[in-house]
Amino acid sequence: MTDRGAVLAALGTVRDPELDESVTVLGFVDSCTVSDDGDVEVHLRLPTYFCAPNFAFLMVADAYDAVSTVPGVRRAQVLLDDHFASTQINEGVAARAGFVSSFEGLAESELDTLRSDFVRKAVMAGTDRVCRPLVGAGVSSDELASMSLGDAPPGEDRERLRARRAELGLPAEDDSPLLVDVVTGARVQPETLPLHLRRARLTQVNTEANASVCRGMLAHRYGSRGEGQVEEAR
């Protein structure tokens, strides 16, 4: 039999691309059922009826991929409910048709570039979470610019930053620079470090604000916790 906990754990690896948060943490998983034969049906929900269809498509497609890889799953079905583009998204993901084919005549390209753009933002937000405590502790700009990723305090924020950098093919080893350009991967130099940190801080503040708004709208719309929502979003 397929373990339902394993299915929820797989869904926990799926992220809202804009917020860089798990769909389970955010409460986006409305239901998850697993039959004795290994058939899985997952229903997702979003904060509003008009959430961007490209974001929604990414989450539904990623959820389908994640659930399909769980041992024992014979058939996976992931459905987005209460969304203006539910039909196109659900049918497109089920057919593995891609975003352009699913929105024929409306979409011009697949979502790889969009995904990469949001991972870059996640790297910048993660940079703020790792570096702001160091600055607060008195680490100078010159010291910060010379630090390696492995020099940062160990913990969830550092490993999350490492993972996002690895997704983009940026240096992510312990001896890699702590501060890197999110496009080139080059070490950030002391003269450009203040601007880099300000951009990182702005990205993190915007992400936190958007996440707070989304959680509030979801709670107002549905008034219930999602499946697998065992902790609060960051």
Token pair of 209 as six digits: 């604000």
Domain boundaries, the chain: 4-110+212-222, 113-210
HSE (side-chain half, CA atoms, 13 Å) at 136: 6
Q: Which of 168, 124, 129, 121 is nearest to 17 (CA)?
A: 121
Given pLDDT bands bounded at 50, 70 and 90, which one contains residue 234? very low
pLDDT greater than 80 at residue 80: yes
Let me know: does 67 contact 73? Beta carbons within 8 Å.
Answer: yes
pLDDT digit string (tens) for 62-74?
999 999 999 999 9
pLDDT digit string (tens) for 24-64?
999 999 999 999 999 999 999 999 999 999 999 999 999 99
pLDDT at 231: 55
Q: List C-alpha distances in Å: 208 to 14, 82, 186.
A: 18, 25, 27
Residue with tokens 């959430």: 51
User: 4-110+212-222 — its CATH code?
Assistant: 3.30.300.130
CB-based contacts of 197, cutoff 8 Å, min separation 6: 127, 128, 131, 135
